[in-house]
Chain A
């Protein structure tokens, strides 16, 4: 299927010939399957790159007039940023890349979809601010971090999930109407997500971004947070073995091993009670080993040691304002560590964090897990209380050993992280597993493994599943578990009767 010349010409008139293409080699740039997904992407009929909200609107109007589906993309890091059927126009928003405003008084930033983490984060940090950054690397879209994911991140300990920081938005509806939400609607600025009347933020955004979202968000304001830690750092060496030292004497990183999951849970809760630390995470141990090494071979050398010495690593980043406060936080931390039985990691391992500690940089390195061949999958991803997340973690042995022993997944059964938010009032869990994607036999086992994880959650009544898989859970349990998806479908039918905007696959 391809666009008719007439439609193509109409679209070309909106953006200019250099910003639309249906040539095969251009389309090929956005259609190859990535190794973590078991399906092929569909090819777009054309890719178009608008530069303004008005251009987006005009494109959507043409799509509506001609029954053309459309999907938006920026970084392409998510499978949801690709067409899931033929007859789709891919709207690439990367030209809409302006930071429109950074307001340090009212603590928000207004951005277009094409602004990347590696652009906004340094701009904010120079002014003493930061924001909730998901672990997608430097090129991830900031806007989709807030609108199209649940927004788990490693600097949310004193804050919360990214999706809670979405403020005013400018939005093009599935039928091509420009809508402004929250305080923006009444001309009062970007600072508030909701205006008079009922909130429509959740409706527009969807529960899990692309799993519900309709239309195109063309501008959004996000709440910004005080930056924890110094604004400057000193760089030594060259990638991938560079080192980054914080220019501060009031920050410190500690790496502990926990005697068991109960101790880790207790330590996290107690740190939250006394409100110390900028970040606390019960970290992935396999991921830790990959991050600390510069090749897969080096990982395979280090891995037995990490498995032996750091099976339950706890990373604690202290970043108060002064050396006195640091001494206070360290005192409390060491008391908690002693009482819960935490043991400091070997200095060479702890120093790795000290030589890399800026959480944006650290989470950028999380992609090093892909060194193990590119077959990977994060599961669980649910969020609830810290205690509940540790209960979920403790259930992992119930289903995982079958798959590590039969070689379906890499033998790292404890590779999950639990990252608390809101000073321990909330947390999320992520179980990251690796599989050998070069072995075609493994594919089926991976699907079975994911189902086994889900079955365990259901059997224990755990609230632990990734929002993206909630439909599968509700299909097993019925609407008593949740009927969100049914309402979502009805809302979409009302706003997008022809199912053109980011269309949902029929189940």
Chain B
């Protein structure tokens, strides 16, 4: 992981142009849904934005602002969704999100983590899952026979959310691979949290240890491919792990695999009970933040020339098309887009520590989905699913993509 001081160039380069706060012109639609930064839209102060966080990072470095007066709350109310980063990079060569990550690491290093973040981090370290639940419960519920191929070099990585809170997603992913005749196996009790929460919240040492453990496990088991149905895990493997050490295998999202299986005729899809227009919410870690992180250690020469050239992660090559292709392939479904889509998706707020903000962000996204005239909202990350599911509130039903696809394999209830 880079240190805060490594991003001095980015901090000094910010011209307060506001690109980090507003939807890019080619996605514009009208007055509503024009903001791209959830915390900026909700709180209004410029400090609550990519630009404001860069300013604060610079002042932390300079010693003119310190933690303890609310900065740490701002830092973790921000979901680190990366919209600011992508928008900034549409016109600049700056690393806004990585500066935010470095500021978080600095905050953690100085012992200023908000209590809830620290507690959750400790839970991941101690129980190997995001929820702090007993590790045995991670896989004890799984059927003994999931159609696994013991010698398969492909692993279906279920993740904490699908193992504990959304078992239907795990079962759906298993069913998709079974039906598609993809040889795979599960890690079962050997699977631990991917560590996304740790590295994204700046708990670097704990993240490093967990990443190392997982990498060693995958290496020792000869895993060549990880498939996951969790957007958070997917982004973590692709974007987070290379910050610590090389991942010894490729990572694929279940939607990417499913698209191939559908194209090859290995998955036959039938109408589901849901019929009509649906809209798709791009999870940040599956979309704009899922590009592979390529470490860069070079020199920034005058006029922005990087020596050696850097592989920029600008959200251009995130997983956007595969989930959409899956939805389009299900008979009876029509895909329509929200204003803020693809790399310009609006974060659901799931990763914020502020409950009130989290509720607002989810409601804001549901409002956008409803205005698109969709009958349902679909996403591909269980954390997004939690944030977007209206629960008791009246509103659009929200589905997980894998669950919807699995039901189309049966032609049953979505």
Contact = CB atoms under 8 A, between A and B. Distances in A.
Interface of A: 18-19, 21, 23-32, 34-36, 47, 49, 75-77, 92, 94-95, 99, 115-116, 118-123, 126, 136-140, 233, 235, 237-242, 244, 294-297, 299-300, 358, 360-361, 364-365, 367-368, 370-374, 410, 434, 436-439
Contact of A360 (B25, B48, B302): B25
Contacts of A137: 17-19, 22, 91
A355 to B, nearest CB: 11
Interface of B: 9, 11-19, 21-31, 34, 43-49, 51-52, 54-56, 58-59, 64-65, 69-71, 74, 86-87, 89-93, 300, 302-306, 309-310, 312, 314-318, 320, 342-344
A49 B90 CA distance: 29
Given A35-B15, A138-B19, A138-B23, A24 B55 contact: no
Given A76-B46, A239-B314, A358-B25, 4 more contacts: A28-B47, A30-B47, A36-B15, A371-B91
**Which of B25, B69, B71, B74 has most A Cβ within 10 Å?**
B25
A119 B49 CA distance: 19
27 contacts: A23-B70, A24-B64, A24-B65, A25-B59, A25-B70, A28-B47, A28-B65, A29-B46, A29-B47, A30-B52, A36-B15, A49-B44, A75-B16, A118-B34, A138-B19, A139-B19, A140-B18, A239-B89, A244-B26, A294-B314, A299-B304, A367-B19, A367-B91, A370-B13, A371-B92, A373-B13, A374-B13
A374 B15 contact: yes
Nearest to B55: A32
A368 B65 contact: no
A251 B145 CA distance: 62
B31 A115 contact: yes
A185 to B, nearest CB: 27
A285 to B, nearest CB: 15
Q: Interface of chain B, helix or strand or loop or mixed?
A: loop
B34 A35 contact: no
Contacts of A115: 31
A94 B45 CA distance: 9
Nearest to A442: B302
B57 to A, nearest CB: 9
A296 B52 contact: no
Nearest to B48: A29
A354 to B, nearest CB: 14
A137 B70 CA distance: 31
A29 B49 contact: yes
Contacts of B44: 19, 49, 92, 94-95
Given A28-B64, A123-B31, A367-B91, A116 B45 contact: no
A413 B74 CA distance: 45
B88 to A, nearest CB: 10
A119 B92 contact: no
> Which are the 8 A-B pairs with shortest beta-carbon distances?
A29-B47, A139-B18, A296-B304, A29-B52, A29-B46, A25-B71, A139-B22, A374-B13
A367 B17 contact: yes
Given A95-B44, A137-B18, A244-B26, A25 B65 contact: yes
A255 to B, nearest CB: 20
A138 B25 contact: yes
Contact of B31 (A120, A300, A370, A437): A120
A109 to B, nearest CB: 11
Contacts of B342: 238
Contact of A295 (B45, B312, B315, B320): B312
B30 A34 contact: no
Nearest to A94: B44
Contacts of A373: 13, 302-304
A215 B239 CA distance: 49
B316 A296 contact: no
Contacts of A136: 17
A126 B22 contact: no
A370 B27 CA distance: 22
B90 to A, nearest CB: 5
Contacts of B21: 139
A296 B93 contact: yes
A234 B127 CA distance: 49
Nearest to B45: A26
B17 A139 contact: yes
